Amino acid sequence: MTEMVYGTVSVRDGEPVLPKWWRTVDKWSLSCILMLFGTGILLGLAASVPLAERNGLAPFHYVQRQAFFGGLAMVALFLTSMMTPLMVRRLAVVGFLAAFVALAFLPVLGTDFGKGATRWYSLGFASVQPSEFLKPMFCIAAAWLMAAGQELGGPPGRTYSFIMMVVIVMMLALQPDFGQASLILFGWGVMWFIGGAPMLLLIGLAGLVVMGGMVAYNSSQHFARRIDGFLSPEVDPTTQLGYATNAIQEGGFFGVGVGEGTVKWSLPDAHTDFIIAVAAEEYGLVLVLAIIALYTTIVVRSFIRLMRERDPFIRLAGTGLAAMFGVQAMINMGVAVRLLPAKGMTLPFVSYGGSSLIAGGIAVGMLLAFTRVRPQGEIGDILRARTR
Amino acid sequence: MIRTPLRPLARILDARQKGENPDAIERENLRIRHEQMRDKARMRAEGRLLVMAVMFFGAFCVVGARMGMLAASEPAEPRAVHTGASIIASRADITDRHGRILATNMSIHSLYAHPQQMIDPDRAATELAAIFPDLDAAKLAARFNDPKRKFLWVKKKISPEQMQAVHDIGEPGLLFGPREMRLYPNGALAAHVLGGSSFGKEGVHSAEVIGTAGVERYFEDLLRDPAREGAPLQLSLDLTVQAAAEEVLDAGMKLLNAKAAASVLMDVKTGEVISLVSLPDFDPNDRPRPLTEGEAADSPLFNHALQGLYELGSTFKIFTAAQAMELGLVNADTIIDTSGTFRVGGEIIGEFENHNYGKISVEQVIVKSSNRGTGRLALAIGSTRQQEFLKSLGFFDPVPLEMIEAKGGQPLLPKRWTDLSTATVSFGHGLSSSPLHLAAAYATLANDGRRVVPTLLKQTSPQDGPQVVSKSVAEAAQVMLRKVVTEGTASFGEVPGYYVGGKTGTSEKLKPRGGYYKDKNINTFASIFPAHDPKYVLIVTLDEAADMTGDRPRRTAGWTAVPVAAEMIGRIAPLLGLRPDYQLGQLEGVVKVSR
């Protein structure tokens, strides 16, 4: 009767948002990301001072900017990670379309900042690199298509996502931005692999790549020289790589001391592509190993958590995001230690860069949203195990 | 594959009977199939995700390990990259037989630039152009301002004064690299023997000096052999003798309007080449470029003594006489009929200026230089034996001298060795060889018939070659050569106290398209001295020489090559340590008295 008069007591369906988020989110990965961000600020204090000095700004100008953008990125990360996978997917697909259009109009409206590659939109106070945002959004969209393709009677999602990937890779390669292009390619490849690529086809592709490489090495002198130069232990000390190698050696195990490093003064990209060299020189191997451990934790934990995931879309999207994140970090550090040929790529959350930071925040936020604990409907499995 | 139907007929019929909707069965089956497929995909993805996790973990470990290895290694002082094998910069000196320097090294600097280290590239370019007038300031500035260039050579060799001037520009992007350059302190002296050198692989810290010709090239590996620890290469040349020979030959060449000249002085016992001259010559410090067109022989780089192949004319007659005596066909006093028409293979062989010497001894055949006489001897010897004999004297192969050009001196032999060839070769026509070949063959006669091979390396003992002719024949030949000077065609060759013996040779030059020039001669004088105990052989060859002092040009060797050779012997014999001996008098018969 009371209810008829006063209406029903409004009862929340489910528990409140924040406690639920805190209960289900991967707290280890979250801490790792925060620590990485902190490390970025710490290294920025050392690495961005020469740049500020060159540009006639206050010494910690770039640190302040990094902190500001970092704050924005954290907000984006928390908000995204609180969303449901469905919400993430909807927003991301819309974001993907927006980023794709932005990328398509780059040749007309973009600027190259005198670096020879048109990758940015200048907004006056900051610049935006659409490809940074496109990467995670592409992951979601491709995963959606692939997952839909696995449904009975679904669209040929795998083919659609492949075409999408090829178009984007071509557009990036035309900028040219081979680093981002290879990341997109790799991310798609990982999702394809997890989404059930036939083993035979994979082996065949691997064989083809090896064969092609050997043919190119034997027939093209230019290609062979590049490879030989990369393999040779000698490194030209006047190149960025030479400085980076020297910085890592100078740093040793415990570094030359905070603010005592010299490599940041000679490397133009000390605050972005070669920030790991600054870290190695000033703080030594200890900090570098710690950074590597943080990345490893995030990536491996995400993979392990996704193994339990029953929803194909969440599984694929999460895998793509984690793989891209991990590979970007790996390529950046691999270049500094000459495991990989030189390629301009930022270290996620550590390198300076507004759009890369915010895009990274969104990407990892989505990853966290996907790796949250949720009911998996595995009761069927449990019952089956009982009856057996 | 067994296909399970989505609408199994039995169940459908059953459901129809019960009045249930059969579509429910299909939906149920579809759901189960979907469930199974997802389970399968999930299991596969689970395994693959684990693989990915392990791979990422491993890759991060590799990066970490690599970081650790780098951190543990010692930082190296930044230095420029060495490309390829390291450069062996040291090169041994070359000396003459008495240890006097013929080629040595000098420490100099090279000048190179690192444009990215430059503060004011335009000023640097202007200042450099002021120091080095051959540099163009605008071009240099363009290269300095090219952002792609990280390195460029400015000058390969600079002197200490220039280095100081460049240093005073004060540009940190201009750098000096030490290097050694090859220096020939005697200039053009023995230029053809030494050859020359240039830079091979060039680095910032050193540059490789490599030989381009002559002994520098021939002894490339030896000169750069670290095991020799820089011990100099000692040649058989004598610097003072070489200088005197070049001076006399040069003067003779100019006086007689010759196009080119060559001389070879050889020790008959050891085979050492004491001096080897070819004119015109060049300065190996600034070696001219090889000709790209025209005759190679017109280049000063051409070594006439070694590469020049000439029909050496009557100088060959002594070989015919020696072989005839060796075979026992004749002795020095055997009378040969040189009169009458001498026809071989359809060709008539005549004498110089159509003389007729009548019936004369073999010795007189040589002294008077009778073509018919030697031709008859050669026909008596026969073609096969003549070829064998000339081969044993070395006329069929290049002289194995230690110079890279020696291989080019392959004698030109008659294509078919007919009787006519036999007759003409006996007086030095139809067979082209170098003056060095002739020197080796005369040395064999002078060395009492034992084969001598010329060498450019200093020797300590006489060569122990095979006996080509017997000692008595060799001595008879030496007497004949002496008589050519005392009473024959080489009367200008007498040098008081040194008892020169020798044989003249005048041959008309071959036209390139066949036939002979009437007024272009090769004049050769092959001499031995002292004739009673031969120690040295001297060959002097003049190309297109003519004595214009008389009322008509005299183009025979007796008027051209012989006086030059006599002058040369007079100059160099004292330098060689030979004492003049006036006791024996001028008698032609005394050749063997001293023995």
Number of domains in chain B: 2
pLDDT tens per residue, range B162-184:
899 998 988 888 888 888 888 89
Burial class (CB in 10 A: 0-12, 13-18, 19+), A124: exposed
The reply to whether B206 and B351 lie within a common domain is no
Same domain? For B552 and B447 the reply is: yes
**Contact indicator for B112, B151 with CB cutoff of 8 Å:** yes
Residue B220 sits in the same domain as residue B299: no
Q: Are the beta carbons of A303 and B150 separated by less than 8 Å? A: no
* Contact call for A300 and B45, based on CB within 8 A: no
Residue B78 contacts A, CB cutoff 8 Å: yes
Q: How far apart are the first and last CA of chain A?
A: 50
Domain containing residue B204: 94-118+145-224
List CB contacts of B486: < 8 A, sequence separation 6 or more: B494, B586, B588
> Residues B220, B339: one domain?
no
Structure tokens at A27: 């707290």
> In the predicted model, is pLDDT for residue A219 greater than 80?
no
Q: Are A365 and A26 in contact (CB under 8 A)?
A: no
Q: Are strands B501-510 and B152-158 parallel, antiparallel or unpaired?
A: unpaired
SS3 state of residue B58: helix
What pLDDT is attached to residue B592? 46
| Span A353-387, pLDDT tens digits | 888 889 999 999 999 999 998 887 777 777 777 76
Distance from CA of B68 to the nearest CA of A (A): 6
H or E segment and range at residue A87: helix A85-104
Least confident of A117-121, B278-282, B372-376: A117-121
pLDDT of residue A223: 65
Give the pair of three-digit tokens for residue A174: 């035309």
A296 contacts in chain B (CB < 8 Å): 56-57, 60-61
Supply the pLDDT for residue A114: 65
Q: Is A306 on the interface with B (CB under 8 A)?
A: yes
Taking CA atoms, what residue in B is nearest to A232? Answer: B83
Q: Is B240's pLDDT higher than 90?
A: yes
A117, pLDDT greater than 80? no
- A295 pLDDT higher than 90: yes
Residue ranges of A 173-202 with Cβ closer than 8 A to chain B? 190, 193-196
Locate the domains of chain A by residue range: 20-236+301-372
| Three-state DSSP state, A186 | helix
State yes or no: cis peptide before A85, omega within 30 of 0: no
Do the beta carbons of residue B517 and residue B259 sit within 8 Å? no
Q: Is B67 on the interface with A (CB under 8 A)?
A: yes
Q: How confident is the model at residue B345 (pLDDT cuts 50, 70, 90)?
A: confident
Q: Is the pLDDT of residue B378 over 70?
A: yes
DSSP letters of B562-578?
Answer: HHHHHHHHHHHHHHTTP
Instruction: Tell me the pLDDT band of B88, cut-offs 50, 70 and 90.
Output: low
**Region B409-437 average pLDDT:** 88
What mean pLDDT do residues A283-307 have?
93
Whether A44 contacts chain B with CB within 8 A = no
- Average pLDDT, integer, range B312-324: 89
Q: Looking at the predicted structure, is the pLDDT value of residue B591 above 50?
A: no
Is there a single domain that holds both residue B268 and residue B407?
yes
On the 0-12 / 13-18 / 19+ scale of CB atoms within 10 A, B47 is exposed
**8-state DSSP, A386:** H
Q: Which of B343, B350, B372 has its CA nearest to residue B360?
A: B372
| B44: CB partners within 8 A, 6+ apart | A196
Residue B161: give its domain's CATH number: 3.90.1310.10
Using CA atoms, how far residue B469 sits from B151, B328, B374, B435, B501, in Å, is 67, 11, 18, 21, 19
Give the C-alpha distances (Å, rounded to integers) separating A149 from A85, A132, A382, B30, B46. Answer: 18, 26, 28, 16, 19
Q: Is B79 on the interface with A (CB under 8 A)?
A: yes
- In this model, does residue B212 exceed pLDDT 60? yes
Look up residue B414 and give its amino acid. P
B85 touches chain A (CB under 8 A): no
What is the residue type of B279?
L
Pairing of strands B359-361, B501-510: unpaired
Residue B5 falls within a domain, yes or no?
A: no
Within-domain flag for B484: yes
CB contact under 8 A, B52 and A284: no
Cβ–Cβ of A292/B60 closer than 8 Å?
yes
Residue B311 pLDDT > 80: yes
Q: Is A323 on the interface with B (CB under 8 A)?
A: yes
Residue among B542, B537, B538 at smallest CA distance from B555: B542
pLDDT exceeds 70 at position B594:
no
Q: Name the band, by pLDDT with cuts 50, 70 and 90, for residue A226.
A: low
Over residues A243-259, the mean pLDDT reads 84
- Tell me: the pLDDT tens digits for A149-176? 888 778 888 899 999 999 999 988 887 7
B52 falls within a domain = no
pLDDT, one tens digit per residue, over A14-41 is: 778 888 899 899 999 999 999 999 998 8
Residue B507 scores a pLDDT above 70: yes
The answer to whether residues B204 and B286 belong to one domain is no
Residue B120 CA to residue A312 CA, distance in Å, equals 63
CATH of residue B448's domain is 3.40.710.10
* Residue that terminates a domain, selected from B189, B224, B259: B224
From chain B, pick out residues whose CB is under 8 angstroms from the CB of A304: 49, 53
| Predicted local confidence at residue A297, as pLDDT | 94
Mean pLDDT of B570-592: 73
Chain B residues lying within 8 Å of A150, measured CB to CB: 37-38, 41
Closest chain B residue by Cα to residue A315: B45
Domain boundary among the residues B197, B224, B251 is at B224
0.80 surpassed by pTM: no
Is residue B150 situated within a structural domain? yes
Of A250, A285, A339, the CB nearest to B75: A250
How far, CA to CA in Å, does A100 sit from each of A96, A164, B320, B392, B475?
Answer: 6, 10, 100, 91, 106
Alpha helices in A151-274 (DSSP H): 157-174, 178-194, 199-219, 221-231, 240-251, 263-266
Q: Does residue B134 register a pLDDT over 70? A: yes
- Gap between the Cα atoms of B418 and B430, Å rounded: 11
Question: Would you call A337 and B78 a contact, using CB atoms and an 8 Å cutoff?
Answer: no
- What dihedral angle (degrees, nearest 10) is formed by the CA atoms of B248, B250, B254, B259? 130
Rounded to an integer, what distance in angstroms lies between the CA atom of residue A306 and that of residue A299?
11
B151 touches chain A (CB under 8 A): no
CB B398 within 8 A of CB B385: no
Residue B84 has pLDDT above 80, yes or no: no
Give the per-residue pLDDT at A162: 92
Answer whether A300 sits within 8 Å of B72, measured CB to CB.
no
Q: In whole numbers, what is the pLDDT of chain A averaged over residues?
A: 85
Pair B172, B247 in one domain? no
What confidence score (pLDDT) does residue B85 get? Answer: 45
If contacts are CB pairs under 8 Å, which of residues 14-53 in chain B contact chain A? 30, 33-34, 37-38, 41-42, 44-46, 48-50, 52-53
Identify whether B270 is part of a domain. yes
Quote the ipTM score.
0.89
CB within 8 A of A171, min separation 6: which ones?
A103, A104
Interface of A with B in 230-269 (CB under 8 A): 234-238, 242, 245-246, 248-253
The pLDDT mean for chain B works out to 85
The mean per-residue pLDDT over the stretch A252-258 comes to: 85
Examine residue A375 and say whether the peptide bond preceding it is cis (omega within 30 degrees of 0). Answer: no
- 3-class DSSP state of B109: strand
Assess whether B100 and B246 both reside in one domain.
Answer: no
SS (H, E, C) B159-191: CHHHHHHHHHHCCCCEEEEEEEEEECCCCCCCH
Tens of pLDDT, residue by residue over A67-91, are 999 999 999 999 999 999 999 999 9
Residue closest to A298 by CA, chosen among A360, A386, A228: A360
Q: Using an 8 Å Cβ cutoff, are A147 and A313 in contact?
A: yes
Residues B383 and B322 placed together within one structural domain of the fold = yes
Report the residue of chain B nearest A244, measured CA to CA.
B70
Residues 6+ apart with CB under 8 A from A372: A21, A24, A25, A26, A81
Binary contact (B56, A299; C-beta < 8 A): yes
Residue B460 per-residue DSSP state: S
Residue B190's nearest CA partner among B403, B441, B431, B335 is: B403
Q: What is the pLDDT of residues A258-276, one digit of tens each?
A: 878 878 877 777 888 888 8
The residue in chain B having the minimum alpha-carbon distance to the alpha carbon of residue A330 is B60
Instruction: Say what percent of chain B tops pLDDT 90.
Output: 17
A225 or B432: whose pLDDT is higher?
B432
What's the rounded Cα separation, in Å, for the pair B422 and B427?
A: 9
pLDDT for position B177? 86
Residues B211 and B267 in one domain: no
Residue B13 counted as domain residue? no
| Residue A232 confidence class, pLDDT cut points 50, 70, 90 | low
In a domain, B84, yes or no: no
What average pLDDT does the segment A232-255 reach? 76
Q: How would you class A23 by CB atoms within 10 Å of its CB: exposed for 0-12, middle for 13-18, buried for 19 or more?
A: exposed
Between the alpha carbon of residue A217 and those of residues A209, B116, B428, the distances in Å are 12, 32, 62
Give the pLDDT band (50/70/90) at residue B533. confident
Q: Does residue B8 lie in a domain region?
A: no
Buried-state track A304-333, b at ≥16 Cβ within 10 A, e below 16: ebbbebbbbbbbbbbbbbbbbbbbbbbbbb
pLDDT at A150: 84
